[in-house]
Amino acid sequence: MSHDKNRHVIPGEVITTGSYRSEQNTFTKGDKIISTVIGLSDVRDGSVRVIPLTGGYVPKDDDLVIGKVVSHSAMSWQVNINSCYEGMLPASDIFGRDFSSHSDDLTSKLDNGDLIAARIVNADKTRDPLLTISGRELGKIDSGELMYISPSKVPRLIGKRGSMIQMIEGATNANVTIGQNGLLVIACDDSNGLIKAINAVELIEEQAHVANLTDKVNEMLESKSE
């Protein structure tokens, strides 16, 4: 069985057999390592995992995410982070430790529909993930173009050590904030640059799995805008 190349797999398909460590999106049955999702198998260093081509975002500690405020209680905001769990942003994160639900009005800072760039503080699944917006590049998002891509394509959009997204920002003068949860905001003063950046993101999402993607994106960015 050839297992040194990445292979397309669907749930239930055997990726390989033998003594391998079963990692993300796989399980073992006897000596078979089996995929649990649609994706690309990745066998290396004695372990097997599958890179999924579909599926939602699963919150992880320290991830940067973009969320939309959908409601609030007396002490916190509930934030839609495009995941099976809703994020929770405590009021004290903005108002400070002396926050008092009597004198401090939550909607004065964040109201329903507001977008925020936040970091996940604690993604323990027994409770809703805890968020914070105190930090560099975090906080309410007032302007820009919001886009959604499949969370599984985010790594491709960022590129190795940020190479892909930096290439796009350089060519368009845009500033892109990418959430690990598949939401991103493109801020650009130049409307042509904005359109180019949007097209680049759409191209990457469509062809994330295709081989010479970097060249294609480069070509697209360098072509004259119509």
Where along the sequence are the contacts to another protein (CB under 8 A)? 8, 10-14, 25, 27, 29, 34, 36-38, 52-56, 58, 68, 70, 84-86, 112-115, 125-126, 141, 143-146, 149-150, 152-153, 185, 205-207, 209-210
In the complex, the smallest distance separating the C-beta of residue 152 from another protein, rounded to whole angstroms, is 8
* Closer residue to another protein (CB): 27 or 155: 27
In the complex, the smallest distance separating the C-beta of residue 208 from another protein, rounded to whole angstroms, is 8
* Nearest to 40, CA basis, from 214, 175, 158, 210: 210
Q: Find the helix or strand (DSSP H, E) in which 169 lies.
A: helix 163-172
* Closer residue to another protein (CB): 23 or 145: 145
Helix/strand/coil for 60: coil
* Closer residue to another protein (CB): 85 or 99: 85
Question: Is residue 60 a contact partner of residue 171, using CB atoms and an 8 Å limit?
Answer: no
* Closer residue to another protein (CB): 152 or 181: 152
Instruction: Please tell me the number of Cα atoms within 13 Å of 217 on its side-chain side.
Output: 31
In the complex, the smallest distance separating the C-beta of residue 195 from another protein, rounded to whole angstroms, is 12
In the complex, the smallest distance separating the C-beta of residue 157 from another protein, rounded to whole angstroms, is 13
In the complex, the smallest distance separating the C-beta of residue 105 from another protein, rounded to whole angstroms, is 18
Distances (CA, A) of 191 to 39, 59, 147, 182: 36, 33, 16, 23
Give me the residues paired with residue 8 across strands: 40
Taking CA 49 as the corner, what is the angle to CA 204 and CA 126, rounded to the nearest 5 degrees? 90
